[in-house]
């Protein structure tokens, strides 16, 4: 970093969400001087409006749903969740993470840290002037210029509005403004049955204070998954009291004094008006490039507003882009991986090619659903022969002990003499640990027989992996012939 009055940073990170923060810390590891610019609250969607806040809310709703169950020999009575208390708990979790991030930034600021490297944090809306310089725009202040050898765009995304319907963030809400509600609505209609829509349908139905309607443009929720997964999720939502409108399109929302009228058109030609107290629009997110002026640096977003990058997340010359502003899946773990990789690449450090083969995801429904690798649809589209095993949680000691047997693990393996894992889908408590174990096996390209060399702890939910593998090899403890509805094996060839 040269020049006391007008420093030239090694790296300027635009956006201090999870990916931007991770990039800054990785550059600090390399002894680099980093400037982080953030126009809003630190943490971005991954902390403030998305993963952390929604999952905190999900955990609270899950706790309430479990406490209200009647199959445990006891039942908690007199419980009545208050939305204000839920919101306050969520915000405490958010602030806890934000202060961790701020504390680390302050620790390594040039005022306190003598090196190597440093972190300088600036607030304001960032705008490219050239590929080597950005201006920070603040109200009633002249623009502050920041120069750097490298830039990283990590500005995240914002919720898409439905065409012709504006958010008022009071009764017509996005996932970013759902915490603006003052109380649990008696009736909530959610437009969009993707992961976010289904997660919030789960959350509000778990609390049992809200009648939830879910509007699905497709014939099934989570349509990119196998039919058995989509069917399982639908049945769980409906069992929780959610009413799903399939093959439906939002036409209009009419605000009344005491409620809103939501007008839906169905693919069979009929229409329906649904009366609700609030609507959550969950139809995806758009890259957040407002104010950034990337064209001044020679970067032209495509027709979707996203930035094209190469295998090292390089957009052009010295400018990198990661996370929601690119074409890759908008997941926190993916964005963080990209950001750390990009920093190593820009500073000439050894790297391994980014791999998304063992990318795992968790869908926070009731119960949670997890995925890694290929599903049956993907295998068939690619003409990949496979063998499959399905193992119900009802046979796991841990699930029985938890009184939580609703769920399963399904593993796909190559149809060859020494099979390897192609993918896994599963549902149930602690499914995140199960999918992580499978992801690790996939990353190591281990054959399924090798997976049986590991002694699985007992009783755990991850024992379903072991039994699925045994079923594929014809060695399972419980046999599919004895329980054909709960234990299954099958295969497919082109």
The whole-model pTM stands at 0.94
Q: Give the Cα separation of 55 and 38 in Å (integer).
A: 24
Domain boundaries, the chain: 8-61+82-157+286-346, 161-283, 360-492
User: For position 3, what pLDDT does the model report?
Assistant: 40
| CATH (residue range 360-492) | 3.30.390.30
User: For position 6, what pLDDT does the model report?
Assistant: 65
Strands 125-130 and 172-173: unpaired
User: For position 5, what pLDDT does the model report?
Assistant: 58
Cis peptide before 116 (omega within 30 of 0): yes
User: For position 188, what pLDDT does the model report?
Assistant: 99
Q: 381 in helix, strand or coil? A: helix
Equal fold, 8-61+82-157+286-346 vs 161-283: yes
Bridge partners (DSSP) listed for residue 316 = 319
DSSP string, 206-270: HHTSSEEEEE-SSSSSSTTS-HHHHHHHHHHHHHTT-EEE-SEEEEEEEE-SS-EEEEEEETTS-
User: For position 143, what pLDDT does the model report?
Assistant: 82
Q: Give the Cα separation of 423 and 363 in Å (integer).
A: 16
User: Tokens representing 378?
Assistant: 């993907």
CB 374 within 8 A of CB 225: no
Among left, alpha and beta (phi > 0; psi -120 to 50; other), residue 407 is left
| CATH (residue range 8-61+82-157+286-346) | 3.50.50.60
User: Tokens representing 71?
Assistant: 């199959």
Q: Does CATH place domain 161-283 in 3.40.50.300? A: no
Residue 255 burial (C-beta neighbours within 10 Å; 0-12, 13-18, 19+) = exposed
- Which pLDDT tens digit goes with each residue over 461-474? 999 999 999 999 99
User: Tokens representing 24?
Assistant: 């800054």
Each of the 494 residues of the chain gets a pLDDT tens digit; together they read 444 456 899 999 999 999 999 999 999 999 999 999 999 999 998 999 889 999 999 999 999 998 887 667 777 777 889 999 999 999 999 999 999 999 999 999 999 999 899 999 999 999 999 999 999 988 767 789 999 999 999 999 999 999 999 999 999 999 999 999 999 999 999 999 999 999 999 999 999 999 999 999 999 999 999 999 999 999 999 999 999 999 999 999 999 999 999 999 999 999 999 999 999 999 999 999 988 999 999 999 999 999 999 999 999 999 999 999 999 888 899 999 999 999 999 999 999 999 888 889 999 999 999 999 999 999 999 999 999 999 999 999 999 999 999 999 999 999 999 999 999 999 999 999 999 999 999 998 889 999 899 899 999 999 999 999 999 999 999 999 999 999 999 999 99
CB 260 within 8 A of CB 273: no
CA 358-328-444 angle, to 5 degrees, is 15
């Amino acid at each position: 970093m040269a020049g006391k009055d007008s420093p030239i940073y090694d790296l300027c990170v635009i956006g201090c969400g999870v990916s931007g923060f991770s990039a800054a810390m990785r550059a600090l590891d390399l002894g680099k001087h980093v400037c982080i610019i953030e126009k809003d609250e630190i943490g971005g969607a991954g902390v403030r409006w998305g993963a952390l806040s929604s999952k905190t809310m999900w955990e609270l709703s899950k706790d309430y749903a479990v406490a209200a169950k009647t199959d445990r020999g006891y039942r908690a009575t007199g419980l009545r969740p208050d939305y204000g208390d839920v919101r306050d708990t969520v915000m405490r979790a958010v602030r806890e993470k934000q202060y961790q991030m701020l504390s680390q930034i302050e620790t390594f600021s040039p005022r306190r840290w003598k090196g190597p490297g440093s972190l300088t944090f600036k607030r304001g809306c960032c705008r490219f002037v050239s590929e080597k310089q950005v201006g920070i725009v603040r109200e009633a202040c002249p623009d502050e210029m920041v120069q750097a050898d490298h830039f990283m765009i990590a500005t995240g995304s914002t919720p898409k509005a439905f065409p012709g319907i504006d958010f008022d963030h009071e009764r017509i809400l996005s996932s970013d403004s759902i915490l603006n509600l003052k109380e649990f609505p008696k009736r909530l209609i959610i437009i969009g049955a993707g992961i976010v829509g289904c997660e919030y349908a789960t959350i509000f139905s778990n609390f049992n204070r809200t009648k939830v309607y879910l509007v699905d443009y497709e014939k099934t929720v989570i349509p990119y998954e196998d039919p058995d997964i989509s069917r399982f999720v639908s049945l769980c939502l409906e069992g929780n009291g959610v009413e799903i409108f399939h093959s439906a399109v939002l036409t209009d929302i009419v605000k009344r004094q005491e409620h809103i009228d939501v007008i839906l058109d169905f693919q069979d030609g009929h229409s329906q008006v649904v009366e609700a107290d609030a609507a959550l629009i969950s139809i995806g997110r758009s890259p957040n490039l407002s104010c950034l002026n990337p064209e001044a640096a020679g970067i032209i977003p495509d027709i979707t507003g996203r930035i094209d990058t190469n295998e090292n997340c390089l957009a052009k010359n010295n400018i990198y882009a990661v996370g929601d502003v690119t074409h890759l899946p908008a997941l926190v773990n993916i964005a963080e991986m990209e950001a750390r990789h990009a920093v190593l690449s820009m500073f000439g450090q050894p790297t391994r090619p980014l791999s998304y083969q063992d990318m795992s995801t968790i869908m926070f429904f009731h119960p949670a659903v997890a995925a890694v690798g290929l599903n049956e649809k993907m295998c068939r589209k690619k003409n990949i022969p496979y063998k499959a095993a399905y193992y119900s949680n009802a046979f796991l000691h841990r699930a029985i002990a938890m009184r939580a047997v609703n769920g399963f693990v399904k593993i796909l393996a190559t149809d060859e003499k020494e099979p390897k894992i192609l993918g896994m889908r599963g549902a149930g408590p602690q499914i995140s640990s199960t999918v992580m174990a499978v992801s690790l096996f996939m990353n190591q390209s281990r054959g399924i027989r090798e997976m049986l060399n590991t002694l699985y702890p007992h009783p755990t939910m991850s024992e379903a992996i072991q039994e699925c593998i045994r079923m594929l090899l014809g060695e399972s403890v419980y046999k599919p012939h004895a329980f054909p509805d709960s234990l299954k094996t099958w295969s497919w060839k082109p």
